[in-house]
Amino acid sequence: MKPEKRKSGMNPNQLNQLLTQASGGASSSTGTSSEEVRTVFTNSSDHQWRKTFRNNRTRTAKYTVFTFFPRSLYEQFRRVANVYFTLVAGLSLTDVSPVRPWTTFTPLAIVLGVSLVKEAIEDYKRHQADKKENGREVEVWSRSRREWKTVRWDQVHAGDILRVTRDQAFPADLVLLSSGTSDGVCYVETMNLDGETNLKLKKAIGATNDMDVTDFQGFNTAVQCDLPNPSLYTFTGNIHLLGAASTRGRSASDASVDEDGNSRRRSKPQYEIKTHPVSPESILLRGSSLKNTKVVYGVAVYTGHESKVMMNATEPPSKRSTLEKSIDSVIMFQFTLLFFMCVSGSVLSGFWHEYYGYQHWYLSLDDKPKEFTPEDKIKVMGLSFITSFILYGYLIPISLYVCVEMVKIVQAMVYIRQDREMYHEETDTAALARTSNLNEELGIIDTVLTDKTGTLTCNVMEFFKCSIKGKTYGTGVNEIEKANSLRKGIVIEEIMQDSQGRASKPVKGFSFHDDEISDLAWLKHKDAAEIRRFLQLLAVCHTVVPEGEPDEINYQAESPDEEALVLAAKELGFKCVKRNLNSLFVREVNAEGLEEEREYQILHVLEFTSARKRQSVIFRTPEGEIILGCKGADNVIYERLAQREGEIQESTQGHLDTYAQAGLRTLCISYRKLSDEVYAEFHKEWTEAKTALSDRDAKVEVVNDKIERELILVGATAIEDRLQDKVPACLEILANAGLRIWMLTGDKLETAVNIGYACSLLTDAMDVNTVQLNVGDKRLSARQTHEERSKIFTTQVTEQFAAMKERVMKRENLSALVIEGNALAYAITPENADSLIDICGSCASVICCRVSPRQKAQVTELVKLSGATTLAIGDGANDVGMIQAAHIGVGISGKEGMQAVMSSDFAIAQFKFLERLILLHGRISYKRLGRMVGYFFYKNIVLGLCLYFYNSQAFFSGQTLFDDFYLSCYNILFTSLPVLAVGIFDEDVKYKMVRKYPRVYEQGALRNEYFSFFPVRTMWVLNAFYAAIVNFLLVMMAYGYDADKENGKVTGLFSMGTCLYTTIVITVNIQIALILDHWTIFHHFAIWGSILVWFLFLIVYGSFDPAISQNVYQLFLTIVVPTTRYWLIIILVPLVAVLPDFLVRQLKHMMFPADHRILQELQVYHVPDDGAQVQSDLRNSRLSSLTLPSKGISKIRVKSLMSRRISEVPSPPATPPMSPQAEEFVVVQNPAAPSTSSGSN
């Protein structure tokens, strides 16, 4: 029925008064106050009312012309180092500064300038995108012109009626009024919202679907809905239509409104309000676009930044890597050291000036500035502190953040994104680092939490078997059954005999064959009536939309499971061919085997949710029967069954268990016949619940739960979801690398366990512990409250944990834990959480089954609280919480859309790529950055301490030993390239060696050998102190107290400073050469080129005008170069400075070699991998005592890679054990073999 038209539309006040009076008050009909809902009036020209809602202009840019500098600078100064250098730059403007101001301003300006330019470019792009988005056009109904007019998107207002044509995007969130078709449906693409490429079906409001252009002029309606919120998949609202009123009776609905907006009573009211619920399937979201439909009409309810897509446009959870947090702690150490140097220097300066200052006549303290009073040591200390604060500022690495960010970008954009081994050709998908901040965090993963469906499996569902009336149908053996059979020692040929007789023409999504059912054989079956009912329910109880001609039908399904069930019905004689707003048309075979098309009227769809775990469809058959068909998880369906036919229920349960053991996904199929009276009562209650604006979902669920009872079990389905390529091998390698693997799945326990065995999460050698609730516990009774039952269940879990804790902790065998979702709810309570973490910490694998999306996130948070570094990987919207909760989230671009990818930190196309992402990119990124950051602090400490040591000789007067330009260029020209070369190009062993011996990953993940507080960071600091002392003392001893023998002149301050600076540059560059594992042309260019640049700089800078070069004008060529002493010093001093570190490293490599050093020996000296001793040691979890023939010049003992197992992948063939006499091996120096670096950390 069309809504009543009027010559002119009512204004909002008129309609609002009528709506209020008809409902008896604002809250009586909705149960919600007007402050908790939004009311949108259509066709309104009241500009004052329109201003109550936000306009449709959107803005994603962070800055404007006026706010760019203050806001972007604020972002930069959130870094403590930038604040410090700004303070130093400001102090350098004072008279107490020991350096010229530009010396401190230049590096600060470069660092800030690079960051600000980057921000400006990125924000300019956002401004351009905003301009393009807001300037798009759409047609809006103009009530004044009585025609459609084209407006920009930013001119759309709430309440406007819009016309959107095919392939256009929706400019706001719309309520779909009409689709221009009789069935009232349209198709939308939501790629820009959730990344899903399959089209979504949307349905118009039934009462407005037959509207056309002529109806909009006097169209009066109000949409009441919840306030703007970011939930893309929920909408609670009602549409109130103004229609002709009934003349019977007098009630609140008899109210009418005159043209002036005054209400009055009429004996025969002209209008009444008719309310219809609006569900999410009638909402067209901004960001989606219209497809396969010519035109739709809708009313805007949420505009601009109040639209759902814009409310979701928030920054993802901020994640900082462990290394980044460690950098903060090291910088705090640097500040502490700086503060100590400043305080100690200022105190000593104050006392020296007070007691000894006037003894040094050349200081001319009598002619001192009036603000400097040597007798006032407090003032002297203060001035000295400020001077030292400026001078020793080079201790803090100002360019650290910029260099680290540059390296991370290269690692993410070049190494990860361009990795051809992580490219999936079938889907044309490359790996993607959605953030570069967490590359190195991949190198210290402790626990991997993974979804199953679509992550470990392909999410390509194949109908495989079924059970009908207590009998199982379907032959064949799937991959998981084959794997389990092999594990149990059953010969494959024996179990494959049942696979004969497959359909000759395979159908995607349908892998079923049974001689009793296939090819319409079921028509002659003794249980043909039950099989017909089973197929009828498969063909009707779904939300699948058929597309195309009946002979070439395609199905658009919300899930692969639903598509597989509809395909099964189609192949077995019930072909769903067409769907409209309220009907479904099925071509089904009759008793004679002839095909006929039948129309089923769809009355209600009770949607599937992860909480309900079931879906029901109420439909009317052509014969007039009202049937409720329900399919869902077995535990949910069984508790709703009528208490009869126990034998069928028991047989079906046995089949379900068998299917689950084969790793198949199971659903129970059931139904209930409804009488007209029962349905009428349900429809009334459901309509009331559906039109409620407060707690609508809860009220609807109460009504649904009431009708979904007394079900009759028809049978069950078994769907195969095959494992992805190389998943077992990937999981095995990750486990051998020391990672704990958690699988979180919604499948039942038996299915999860068998998939665990199939993908190598579980092995026969493991002690598998299972935690379940015992519903048969004698302590339970029907009279107990929920709280009392919860206490008993909590106690059950506590008791099970206590029983297995001692056994698991003994570690006699590898252990695994399997826990069901209902037990998990009580395991993560405060009473049991610690025990759960303790047990899981001793388990190699953990499987959580029957878990909800919320439980996935809770488990991830719990593992994080235990101190483990977590990685969560999934492919669907139900994995988003888990992905965002983990330290690192990895999304798989699969069949369930891109929600997981859009919420992730890294994205890959297949689970098998996770191995390479972690073991290659994660491990090497962490090692590179760890060494890079350690070296960064080392080189700055060396320079800062040399300045401090010289000032101790100058009684902390603040005199600098180096020219200002030397100091400014230290981090920019002479030491920056080697740092970047380490962070980008360094490599210890080839990835094939890491794959073969994955325990090497634990160097970073378990033992943190790359950036631990001790010994790594401590050794860097001690080495820096030693290098600074050696450089300063030896140069001072060589230069400081003797006159030059050739001309008799005393060595000048800046001559000695130039010599010392040269030794520092050479020392720190040689030091980085010692830690390299892999030499490339880039390393040679960076290290030796930086030293060469220093000498070229001396020549060029010394030739500048004295006003610029000042104290070092022509210094290098005329004074420094001619002296033999200089050349001896710059050769010998760096060697002495790095010699102890070199010897310590070599001694460590010989006596206590690190894991990667062992693999380097195997790789470089070509140790035969198939040698009996190697294989024996691998099986014995050791890589030790390997003997190489021939002459050797270095003899080293190789320690175990790990006290636990280390295995080669795949496992080597059996070989005799190695003799105990083979304790050591000799490494042969092959003249033709490439050389390794002299050291590594």
Q: What is the CA radius of gyration of the chain?
A: 38
Whether 226 has a binding-site annotation, put simply, is: no
Q: Where are the alpha helices (DSSP H) in 52-100?
A: 68-76, 80-91
User: Is 726 labelled as part of a ligand binding site?
Assistant: no
Closest CA relative to residue 1061, chosen from 1051, 1050, 1053: 1053
562 is in an annotated binding site: yes
> What is the rounded distance in angstroms from the CA atom of residue 1061 to the CA atom of residue 1070?
14
Overall residue count recorded for the chain in this entry: 1241
Give the 3-state secondary structure of residue 505. coil
According to DSSP, the residues that pair with 152 across neighbouring strands are 137
CA 475 from centroid of its chain's CA atoms:
41
**How far is residue 1007 CA from its own chain's centroid?**
25
Q: Which of 123, 446, 451, 634 is catalytic?
A: 451
DSSP at 92: T
875 is in an annotated binding site: yes
* Dihedrals phi, psi of 1063, to nearest 5 degrees: -65, -35
Residue 1237 is classified by DSSP as: P
CB-CB contact of 669 with 538 (8 Å)? yes
Rounded Cα distance, 239 and 158, in Å? 14
Q: How far apart are CA 568 and CA 534, in angstroms?
A: 11
801 is in an annotated binding site: no
Q: Does the annotation flag 631 for ligand binding?
A: yes
Q: Is residue 131 a known part of a binding site?
A: no
Q: How many C-beta atoms lie closer than 10 Å to residue 1081's C-beta?
A: 8
453 in a known ligand binding site:
yes
Is residue 451 flagged as an active site residue? yes
Q: Which of 1076, 818, 1043 is nearest to 935 (CA)?
A: 1076
What pairing do the DSSP bridges indicate for beta strands 870-874 and 447-451? parallel
Concatenated DSSP letters for 959-999?
A: --SS-HHHHHHIIIIISHHHHHHHHHH--SS-HHHHHHSGG
Residues 6+ apart with CB under 8 A from 462: 509, 510, 511, 564, 719, 720, 721, 722
Closest CA to 613 of 732, 468, 747: 747
What is the rounded distance in angstroms from the CA atom of residue 772 to the CA atom of residue 752? 14
Helix residue ranges per DSSP H, 472-595: 479-488, 492-495, 528-540, 560-571
- The answer to whether residues 872 and 886 touch, using CB atoms and an 8 Å cutoff, is yes
Q: Which helix (H) or strand (E) holds 818?
A: strand 815-820
Beta strands 554-556; 545-547: pairing state: antiparallel
Task: Tell whether residue 597 is among the known ligand binding residues.
Answer: no
- Pairing relationship of beta strands 888-892 and 870-874 according to DSSP bridges: parallel
988 known member of a binding site: no
Q: Quote the CA–CA distance of 899 and 698 in Å, as a whole number.
A: 26
| Token pair for 1162 | 């195997």
- Paired tokens of 126: 């956002």
Q: How far, CA to CA in Å, does 516 sit from each of 475, 510, 702?
A: 11, 16, 41
Query: Of 889, 892, 853, 854, nearest to 875 (Cα)?
Result: 892
Question: Which residue type is seen at 579?
Answer: R
608 is in an annotated binding site: yes
Residue 451 annotated as part of some ligand binding site: yes
Residue that the structure tokens 């079923």 belong to: 512
SS3 38: strand
The residue among 921, 991, 1020 whose CA lies nearest residue 1156 is 991
Q: DSSP label at 3? A: P
Half-sphere CA count of 1217, side-chain side, radius 13 A: 6
On whether 955 is known to bind a ligand per the annotation, the reply is no
SS3 149: strand
Residue 586 CA, distance from chain mean position: 43
278 close to 238: Cβ distance less than 8 angstroms: yes
Sequence ranges of the binding site for ATP: 451-453, 562, 608, 631, 665, 745-747, 850, 856, 878-879
Q: Pick out the residues of the known binding site for Mg(2+).
A: 451, 453, 875, 879
Annotated binding-site residue numbers: 451-453, 562, 608, 631, 665, 745-747, 850, 856, 875, 878-879
User: Catalytic residue positions?
Assistant: 451
